[in-house]
Structure 1
Amino acid sequence: MPTITLRLELHKPTKVKQEMYERMTEVNTEFANWLLDHPELNQATSKIFKEFSSQRFPSAIACQTIRDVKSQRKHQKAKKFRKQWCCFNNQNWKVERKGEFYTVSFPTLEKRVGVPVVTRPYQEAWLNRLLDGTAKQGAAKLYKKKKKWFLALSITFEEEPCKGEKIMGVDLGLRYIAVASIGTKSLFFKGNQCAFIRRRYAALRRKLQKAKKLRAVRKIGNKESRWMKDVNHKISRQIVNFALANGVGVIRMEDLTGIRKRATSMKEAGRNLHSWAFHQLQTMIAYKAEMSGIRVEWVNPTYTSQTCRCGYRDKGNRNGIHFQCQKCGYTIHVDLNGAINIAKAISGWSA
């Protein structure tokens, strides 16, 4: 079943509660690091916490931490955890609605009390599905970011039955980040503005690197990543909405292997999109489509931009963003031609 994660901010927790959450995190991190070196970790239960400390600590958190450390120890490269946030399995947290507010209760150092959370309309829709039983809750995590406390709630749901019959193809590229095609209808997302912003970020990084301001370089990189993620969210939402509005039941997308090799020159207008988060964009399209009951299929993109609707394939068919068949004279935008061929899966399915 598909899974999503809701990030809910705790609504104005008191100073006492914030200090308690900090303490819980500190104890849990120390416990996790202690477990890393424990010889009997594979047989450990919540009772092992008494060997670590005599202080009061929720057994539900201890059990989840033991499970997490067991799974992470095999791949743990660092000698210790820097921060191990408190996590709860699906049986140890609960959502309730009290008037216009939603509360989430979970184990703490004190008694278990429902904590009000800040919600947005789309989050409320998912919380309502938990309450009416049309979605199932998974694990939860209590963590802090930028002086605010959040709960990350994992929610699984059944895919809605596919209602549409049409097939949409989505082509990804450099000059145009994405082009979607449904029959005679199409949707374009230009990459020139994004390429300009990427070049501006790159120039700023080079300037900061020369000045050896490495902290500022990392900060700029994080800012750029957040911007890219926001752009991908908006593009993916528009693509899925376009599919829903036109009765699409299947979205076909290309396999990403080799996408960065498609630029013909380093001086190409969209050169800085070589590092665009194409996989992230496809992932966002896929999970939004699944949530809407649209099936996603992956196809081999080979020759999709060189093949005409008449079946003739030649490198000379494409010239920049223009496609003109050397055999029948058919003309079209090259990325739209690619999206149409992806929808038809002319090169077969991805291995």
Structure 2
Amino acid sequence: MNPLKTIKIKLKPNKFQAQELARLSKEYIRQANLLIETAVADKQFPKATSKHIDTELPSVIKNELIRYAKTKFKQFGNCTFKKPTISWNNQNYSLSENSIDFPIIVDGKVKKTRFKAIIPYETFEELKSSKLGSLRISKKGFHWIAQISIETKPLVCTGTDTLGVDLGILVPAVGVVNSTGKTKFFGNGRSNKYLRRKYKELRKKLGKAKKLNAIKRINDKESRIMKDINHKISRQIVDFAVENNCGTINLENLSDIRQTSRTRGKNKQSLHSWTFYQLASFVEYKAYNLGIKVEYINPQYTSQECPVCNTHNKTNTREYKCACGYKTHRDRLGALNIAQKSNLDGKSLSA
């Protein structure tokens, strides 16, 4: 599969169309979350078809949300989708110079409907000459934005090394190059925790004052800030991989990370609110577009196993020490072991 590029287009729906997009996108995410909840409870994704999705959505959208939820469950296990969105595959929409047509429900029936769109000439020419992927629509601020993925010319990554990445709270991410042990710490965990606590206290005060609209505004602001942080960290991780001749990035398999963590107290809340899933997704996307393979590694014992003598040692501090004399930062140890592990779970994203 060739690397993908996302084209963003501003839509200009009329009042009815905007209301229907809002309804469809909220229901799309609600149904996707229900599928994830079932999959987590049963420890496997349900064998669902559009007939099993009992809600007023076009069948083509039901099929897309099933595929979307199944893909994310395989990659990340227990995850929750928050932002309303909706998607169609490339067989269910069409483009013109100033519109996009796709099926919605009109007067109780599924009807392919024309939505006005602002498509610059150069963008339209690029879309016409490309193999189109899925169409995804979501609302950003006051505007509805369509995102269309297209295949681009494949990049060939010549890197031969592996970068292991350990995700955490006090240190959002640590990367270690397998062959050299070169290490880099990414992000500022203390700053992230401060932001989370700040907005949590602000929400509490606004909640007591029953200012619900203000709470929604600060929730959106916090989400934008954390998303920007994750974008920057993921870019730094991928750039570090390129600089060190890495053709593969090993990430932790994030399934059940919140359930299996032993973190307590205020760090437990940080763990639940820290967007591990989003950061991993951003690393995936950026790496894939550079031809770098991403593999998901079982993180069991990666923060305990000594890379020299293979014994397991637990530590309650940031420094890891082994009886054989080996010592290092605990998060660096996790990243080093992740870099040295092979993918045994079959969960990978290959360029």
TM-score range, shorter chain: 0.5 to 0.7
Instruction: Tell whether 2:325 aligns with 1:329.
Output: yes
> Is the CA contact 1:86–1:143 (under 8 Å) kept in the aligned structure 2?
no
Instruction: Tell whether 2:264 aligns with 1:265.
Output: yes
Letter in 2 for 1:246: N
CA displacement 1:244-292 (0-9 Å, x = unmatched): 1111111111111342343543144x85243211011111111211110
Question: What residue number does 1:238 align with?
Answer: 236
TM-score by length of 1: 0.66
Instruction: Tell whether 2:66 aligns with 1:71.
Output: no
Closer/same/farther in 2, CA of residues 83 and 91 from structure 1, 3 Å limit: closer
Question: What residue number does 1:173 align with?
Answer: 168
Closer/same/farther in 2, CA of residues 104 and 205 from structure 1, 3 Å limit: same
Percent identity over the alignment is 36
Alignment of 1:309-328 (within 5 A): 309-316=307-314, 318-325=315-322, 327-328=323-324
Question: What is the DSSP-based 3-state SS (H/G/I as helix, E as strand, rest coil) of the residue aligned with 2:305?
Answer: coil
Letter in 2 for 1:92: S
Question: What residue number does 2:345 align with?
Answer: 350
Question: What is the DSSP-based 3-state SS (H/G/I as helix, E as strand, rest coil) of the residue aligned with 1:8?
Answer: strand
Question: What residue number does 1:163 align with?
Answer: 158
> Is the CA contact 2:166–2:331 (under 8 Å) kept in the aligned structure 1?
yes
Question: What is the DSSP-based 3-state SS (H/G/I as helix, E as strand, rest coil) of the residue aligned with 1:315?
Answer: coil
Which range moved further: 234-243 or 214-223?
A: 214-223
Distance in 2 between residues matched to 1:314 and 1:145, nearest whole Å: 47
TM-score by length of 2: 0.66
Which range moved further: 222-231 or 290-299?
A: 222-231
Question: What residue number does 2:185 align with?
Answer: 188
Alignment of 1:162-311 (within 5 A): 162-182=157-177, 183-189=180-186, 190-260=188-258, 261-268=260-267, 271-311=269-309
CA RMSD of aligned residues (A): 4.1
Q: How far did residue 186 of structure 1 move? A: 1.6
> 5+ unaligned residues in a row in structure 1: which ranges?
11-17, 33-67, 77-81, 95-102
Letter in 2 for 1:206: K
Distance in 2 between residues matched to 1:262 and 1:143, nearest whole Å: 33
Distance in 1 between residues matched to 2:316 and 2:189, nearest whole Å: 18
Distance in 2 between residues matched to 1:250 and 1:27, nearest whole Å: 44
Question: What is the DSSP-based 3-state SS (H/G/I as helix, E as strand, rest coil) of the residue aligned with 1:184?
Answer: coil
Distance in 2 between residues matched to 1:144 and 1:206, nearest whole Å: 27
Closer/same/farther in 2, CA of residues 263 and 113 from structure 1, 3 Å limit: closer
> Is the CA contact 1:25–1:83 (under 8 Å) kept in the aligned structure 2?
no
Closer/same/farther in 2, CA of residues 148 and 211 from structure 1, 3 Å limit: closer
Closer/same/farther in 2, CA of residues 8 and 223 from structure 1, 3 Å limit: same
Distance in 1 between residues matched to 2:88 and 2:14, nearest whole Å: 10
Which range moved further: 259-268 or 166-175?
A: 259-268
Question: What is the DSSP-based 3-state SS (H/G/I as helix, E as strand, rest coil) of the residue aligned with 1:328?
Answer: coil
Q: How far did residue 218 of structure 1 move? A: 2.6
Q: How far did residue 91 of structure 1 move? A: 7.6
Question: What residue number does 1:22 align with?
Answer: 14
Question: Across the two proteins, how many residue pairs are aligned to each other?
Answer: 281
Distance in 1 between residues matched to 2:158 and 2:277, nearest whole Å: 27
Letter in 2 for 1:161: V
Question: What is the DSSP-based 3-state SS (H/G/I as helix, E as strand, rest coil) of the residue aligned with 1:228?
Answer: helix
Question: What is the DSSP-based 3-state SS (H/G/I as helix, E as strand, rest coil) of the residue aligned with 2:265?
Answer: coil
Distance in 2 between residues matched to 1:323 and 1:167, nearest whole Å: 22
CA displacement 1:1-23 (0-9 Å, x = unmatched): 3545322347xxxxxxx5xx416
Letter in 1 for 2:254: L
Question: What residue number does 1:52 align with?
Answer: none
Distance in 1 between residues matched to 2:201 and 2:192, nearest whole Å: 14
Question: What residue number does 1:340 align with?
Answer: 336
Closer/same/farther in 2, CA of residues 336 and 252 from structure 1, 3 Å limit: same
Question: What is the DSSP-based 3-state SS (H/G/I as helix, E as strand, rest coil) of the residue aligned with 1:174?
Answer: coil
Letter in 1 for 2:210: K
> Is the CA contact 2:249–2:292 (under 8 Å) kept in the aligned structure 1?
yes
Question: What is the DSSP-based 3-state SS (H/G/I as helix, E as strand, rest coil) of the residue aligned with 1:6?
Answer: strand
> 5+ unaligned residues in a row in structure 2: which ranges?
25-56, 67-83, 103-113, 347-351
Letter in 2 for 1:136: K
Distance in 1 between residues matched to 2:183 and 2:126, nearest whole Å: 33
> Is the CA contact 1:181–1:343 (under 8 Å) kept in the aligned structure 2?
yes
Letter in 2 for 1:25: Q
Q: How far did residue 113 of structure 1 move? A: 10
Question: What residue number does 2:149 align with?
Answer: 154
Letter in 1 for 2:8: R
